[in-house]
A and B are shown apart, each in its own frame.
Chain A
């Protein structure tokens, strides 16, 4: 049994190009159980690309992924979810024409023989939503097309929380939310970590990051500028890491930061 604080997911030397565009350069990234790791960086820094590599959506060019201390190959979304990695994507990836229950169980439907076990899926979906205090949906059989942006976000998070997962990755989960729903999502993020999950939170909002994160990894133009404990840095330093790749002693060597531009 891994304890809190043990690295559950460790990437080393990850490189990823789209054609001629080199998006990720030798990225090292570690997340630990019981910890919220904030992944920050400017638009286009490669945050979404990095998590898509972890989730098996994008194949990467070189590098290694270790899960629970063993090297693994994540060759598809199913492989990732079988390891216990759940991702809430920036674009949510919900099917508009399906209802909430159908979306939450998509690809992992419960069956009785050949037939879908709708009652048990509906009950489980409802329990998960209630446990996360998601109270704004009128019906779990409502089509996702008819939900508001915030409701869609909460459904996507509930979908990740439905499964017994070790690592939950959230790509800008609060970007589209109002004050109250942001509060709920941040509480939920903290709760996930406190109950032993490893959480990766991508966010542009420094207040959110400083409120819930234990560690912060800053990406600058596809390179890791710093991997630091939250307590050791200030808002200003993180902003500098994001915008310039370095801040005082922290960050990329001056010539690396400059040549990346």
Chain B
């Protein structure tokens, strides 16, 4: 008996051939699944009950992407009504997509940190420092773009590791550690670039990220692949669950979800593929190269968080770190790793921002950058209490923030109003989060 202990790490179910049979209940007979068990998991749905099911989930505080999507729609409607010709212009739509890129990437990294209920106030200035390193390497040292990008990201990861170590090993609150880094890293950037200076970035590849577009056919091809891939994954998963009689969402809901995603992707591709050149002599169209970069990051992060044990452990630590520890999860390692991811993605975000401006200034990543990114994650649906959030929150929230910025800019709103409005939107998102949380814990009791 001493050798047949449960395997190391790889989970095995109860091996009933070696153990006395537990399925024999007190009654002596083998118990089978009664029809009444887990009734909701086995429900067949029609249109009405699917809608009802969705409504119940909303009422129970499972809001998903709904608030962010509604926010996006109402903002678009609002700005279209106020500035019909400029806001919906093709040029502005392309501008908007590029504007959202750096915030989105930064926010995506922050989602990992927020999932643990921690905060990284230094992500913004870390992105600035990494961009400064990249610019120096390209412009002053004449290094090729890939060396510069790798160095920038490596520095981001080093910063993240240091923050993570201080937070998880020394147990200093992340708020304090990253506040210190927020101050300190600005000093490093200043020293690197020199006071008041800017370093130009003229490398073709880097500049192309935000300033060049994919060929139209490639844009359509990628959009097609994404739509097909998403639909196939969702439907196959539903089929697998349904065939094995596992818990599944109503098929009506899955189809609706696929339709919304497909519509959003195809409409954006269509708009961005239109010729938006200001003069009829040239043509300018296609999806900016930074967009597929964000799409790739979104797919990878969604996979890691949703489908891997590592992702599951992040949620567990965020939900109840003591439970995670008792389950044998290395909580320290998870804590360090999320800060590494946040700072690594911050570096990427800094590079995209540098590409957009064609330069890196001493103020890069400072100011509102970080707060906008945190705002984006929260608006997208990531909880500040930890344990809830998805990679897509960064994309939805990043779009909302960029929309507000862009629309108010077109309206010529004074700066003070822009701050006020952005602040109010963030407060609204945080309130929705807090209220949904209350509903969730009171539902089902």
Contact = CB atoms under 8 A, between A and B. Distances in A.
B18 A95 contact: no
B323 A93 contact: yes
B317 to A, nearest CB: 8
Interface in A101-136: 102-103, 105-111, 114-116, 118-119, 122-124, 126-131, 133, 135
A111 to B, nearest CB: 6
Contacts of B241: 119
A138 B244 contact: no
Nearest to A96: B319
A138 B315 contact: no
Contacts of B32: 130
A122 to B, nearest CB: 5
B38 A93 contact: no
A106 B82 CA distance: 51
B383 to A, nearest CB: 9
B34 interface: yes
Contact of B31 (A130, A143, A163, A190): A130
A7 interface: no
Interface stretch (A14-22, A76-84, A232-240, A249-257): A76-84
Contact of B22 (A84, A131, A137, A187): A131
A108 B21 contact: no
Interface stretch (B6-14, B216-224, B393-401, B425-433): B6-14
B38 A195 contact: no
Given A95-B315, A97-B388, A98-B319, A139 B38 contact: yes
A106 B12 CA distance: 13
A162 interface: yes
Given A122-B247, A162-B14, A93 B326 contact: yes
Nearest to B39: A138
B247 A106 contact: no
Contacts of B14: 128, 161-164
A192 B32 CA distance: 18
B320 interface: yes
A91 B322 CA distance: 10
A192 B14 CA distance: 13
Q: How would you classify the secondary structure of chain B's contact residues: helix, strand, loop or mixed? A: loop
B386 to A, nearest CB: 8
A189 to B, nearest CB: 11
Interface stretch (B67-75, B370-378, B413-421, B437-445): B437-445
A76 to B, nearest CB: 7
B40 A131 contact: no
A55 interface: yes
A98 B315 contact: yes
B15 A164 contact: yes
B309 A116 contact: yes
Given A163-B6, A191-B22, A148 B445 contact: yes
A68 interface: yes
Interface of B: 1-2, 4-6, 8-15, 18-26, 31-34, 36-41, 60, 240-241, 244, 246-247, 307-309, 312-313, 315-316, 318-320, 322-329, 387-388, 440-441, 443-445
Interface of A: 1-2, 55, 57, 68-70, 76-78, 81-84, 87, 89, 91, 93-98, 102-103, 105-111, 114-116, 118-119, 122-124, 126-131, 133, 135, 137-143, 145-148, 161-166, 187, 190-192, 195-196
Please give me the 9 A-B residue pairs with the lowest Cβ-Cβ distance, nearest first. Answer: A107-B327, A146-B444, A78-B328, A95-B319, A97-B387, A97-B319, A108-B11, A93-B323, A141-B247
Given A139-B40, A195-B19, 15 more contacts: A55-B326, A93-B323, A102-B316, A106-B316, A106-B323, A110-B11, A119-B244, A122-B247, A133-B25, A137-B38, A138-B40, A138-B41, A146-B440, A146-B441, A191-B26
24 contacts: A1-B1, A2-B2, A82-B5, A82-B8, A84-B5, A93-B320, A94-B323, A97-B318, A97-B388, A98-B316, A102-B315, A106-B327, A106-B329, A109-B309, A115-B308, A126-B37, A130-B32, A135-B34, A142-B444, A146-B60, A162-B14, A164-B12, A164-B15, A192-B22
